[in-house]
Every structure is written in structure tokens, then in C-alpha cells.
């Protein structure tokens, strides 16, 4: 993921109530994730290789499972970082908790596996399957 754009803030002055105002990149509104079925067979990974070959697509695994990560700014994100449909924003946005979010630590720190492109996933496939080649 892209690195955050943060306003400098003195230690101790950030609270969950004001934190988002310091996070000028609004990183949590610049991508979506979609849970994947746990890949097991070669054919599963072959499909993931196709997906990760595309621009703005990466794949990660964390304690909750495997996910497709699609980078792309939400069209409702305003230039000042506000949500343009705040009162009717989707439930997933309402549920997002900023107590510990990407302002505090990059999401990838919690990933067990992270594939940002075809080559990275292919290398994993070759390690995982002794006879990967077709
Ligand atoms: S929830 Fe976290 S990542 Fe999202 S805008 Fe607020 S501080 Fe930034
Ligand atoms: S709908 Fe609003 S809160 Fe949800 S991702 Fe878009 S800008 Fe962010």
C-alpha cells in the first residue's frame, strides 16, 4: 500500500476523536479488500496469479484468512479528507474502528503473507509446490 500522508502531531495530542483530522491521506478510504476462499490446490494459486497480475491488485493473508486488496480511492472521498456521503455511508465504513488503524501502523505489519505482484506469488508457489511447473 502507499505510505500514509500524515500531518505532524505532538505526542499525546491524538485521540480517536481527532485522529482522522491528522491523517491527510485518509488511507482507509483508498482501497477495498475482499475475502478469498483459502487457496489450496495448484489451480487455486493459478487463479490468484491471474488476479495479482493486474494493476492495483495485491493479495495477503493475515490471521483472518486470505484477502484480495484492490487499491483505489473511494469516489466519495473529498479533497479535505471528509466523506461526501457521511450520513448514508455504507455499514463497513461505519464499523471501521480507528482506535488502532493505519495511522498507527501500516496494515502490512499484520500480514503473514503479502504478494504485491505476479513474481512474488510465483516464487511462493514454487516453494509451496515441489512440482509447480506445467
Ligand atoms: S480511521 Fe485511521 S486510516 Fe482512516 S482516516 Fe482515520 S486515522 Fe486515517
Ligand atoms: S463512503 Fe465515505 S467513509 Fe466510506 S470509503 Fe468512501 S469516503 Fe470513506
- Is 10 a domain residue? no
Q: Per-residue confidence at 24, pLDDT binned at 50, 70, 90?
A: confident
Give the chain's domain count: 1
Q: Which residues lie below 8 Å from residue 82, measured CB to CB, with a gap of 6+?
A: none
- Is 6 a domain residue? no
Give the residues surrounding ligand 2 with Cβ less than 6 Å away.
29, 74, 76-77, 83, 85, 89-90, 93
- Is 134 a domain residue? no
Nearest-atom index, ligand 2, CA of 76: 7
Judge contact between 77 and 29, C-beta under 8 A: yes
Kindly give the distance from the C-alpha atom of residue 115 to the centroid of ligand 1, in angstroms, as a whole number.
Answer: 24
- Is 100 a domain residue? yes
pLDDT single digits (tens) 27-53: 999 999 999 999 999 999 999 999 999
Per the structure, the complete domain to which residue 91 belongs is given by 19-128
pLDDT single digits (tens) 106-134: 999 999 999 999 999 999 999 999 899 76
- Is 73 a domain residue? yes
Amino acid at each position: 500500500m502507499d505510505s500514509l500522508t500524515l500531518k505532524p502531531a505532538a505526542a499525546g495530542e491524538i485521540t480517536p476523536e481527532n485522529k482522522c483530522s491528522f491523517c491527510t491521506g485518509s488511507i482507509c478510504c483508498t482501497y477495498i479488500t475482499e475475502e478469498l476462499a483459502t487457496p489450496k490446490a495448484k489451480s487455486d494459486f493459478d487463479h490468484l496469479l491471474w488476479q495479482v497480475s493486474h494493476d492495483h491488485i495485491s493479495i495477503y493473508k493475515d490471521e483472518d484468512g486470505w484477502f484480495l486488496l484492490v487499491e483505489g480511492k473511494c469516489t466519495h472521498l473529498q479533497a479535505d479528507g471528509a466523506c461526501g456521503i457521511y450520513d448514508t455511508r455504507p455499514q463497513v465504513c461505519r464499523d471501521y474502528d480507528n482506535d488502532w488503524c493505519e495511522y498507527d501502523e501500516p496494515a502490512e505489519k499484520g500480514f503473514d503473507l503479502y504478494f504485491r505482484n505476479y513474481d512474488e506469488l510465483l516464487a511462493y508457489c514454487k516453494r509451496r509446490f515441489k512440482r509447480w511447473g506445467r
